[in-house]
Amino acid sequence: MPSSPVVYTCDEHSAVYYHLAAEGARQLAVTHLDAHCDLRGTLIDRALGKAWLRRPAPPVSGSTYLSHMVAEGIAVDISWVHDEVGGRENDLRTVLYTSDLERLAYRLVRRPRGAGVDLAYRELDYAAWRHRDGERVLDIDWDFFADWRKSALRSAREIEQLLDEKLEVAPHRVYVAYSPQYSRPGRDDFEAFVKRLARRLAGKVQALPEAPLPPAGGLVRALPPAWRRRLRVGLVRIKRAYLR
């Protein structure tokens, strides 16, 4: 770990995977503060502490990079922190739990063969969460705060909570992804947050090399932001109706 805290920044969240893989990082504990799980393609048995990545493995992207970190042993402990705006119910193609396979909607999903990999995993509510382990990587997606479904007032309040209350122990390593396709426009707000976070931790800011964009999803990314939001809202509604 760095001798003083470092806040690493990127646009595409998958840059976190490439950075840690290049370092040869292994067996990390990660707190993932994000409206989205970024574990697409992964099946988790929470009771047994096991996880499987579907085959063939999906390409590394902002939605799958944590799946690859788990499958490759980079991360062995993940806490996904979100609120009622995020979570599996409000997202598409999310992580699956073995308990989901008992539902009719997932009757065609089969548990992968093999023993899987070890993974301690939990979902935590932002209101109750506190960071109490300096060795634990804090991985933040700016869209948790700048989600278009949240008011500017709520976003500002949650940022203050993070900086004033929740970091009981300063993490040595923090990643902050801008995720422009999911966040409200305003890079200035993102950069101001990063600077405040670095000051709060008495650390420094370091930009990561940007990750390549996967070919899949290019058409959706090309849509105007308002169209993408409408499309996403409609698909989430269909998913909820299907899972009832």
> Taking the CA atoms of the chain, what radius of gyration do you get in angstroms?
17
63-114 confidence digits (pLDDT tens): 999 999 999 999 999 999 999 999 999 888 899 999 998 877 777 777 778 9
Is 6-218 a CATH 3.30.1560 domain? Answer: no
| Residue 222: predicted pLDDT | 63
Instruction: Quote the pTM value.
Output: 0.91
- The closest of 220, 190, 217, 218 to 205, measured between CA atoms, is 190
CA angle 8, 21, 70 (to 5 degrees): 100
Which residue reads 């048995």 in tokens?
45
Q: Which helix (H) or strand (E) holds 28?
A: strand 28-33
The pLDDT tens digits along the chain (244 residues) read 447 999 999 999 999 999 999 999 999 999 999 999 999 999 999 999 999 999 889 999 999 999 999 999 999 999 999 999 999 998 888 999 999 988 777 777 777 789 999 999 999 999 999 999 999 999 999 999 999 899 999 999 999 999 999 999 999 999 999 998 888 878 999 999 999 999 999 999 999 999 987 766 666 666 666 666 776 667 767 776 666 6
DSSP H helices, the chain, are: 15-23, 65-71, 143-146, 152-161, 187-201, 218-222, 225-243
| 64, 38 contact by CB (below 8 A) | yes
Compute the distance between CA of residue 109 and CA of residue 107 in angstroms, rounded to an integer.
6
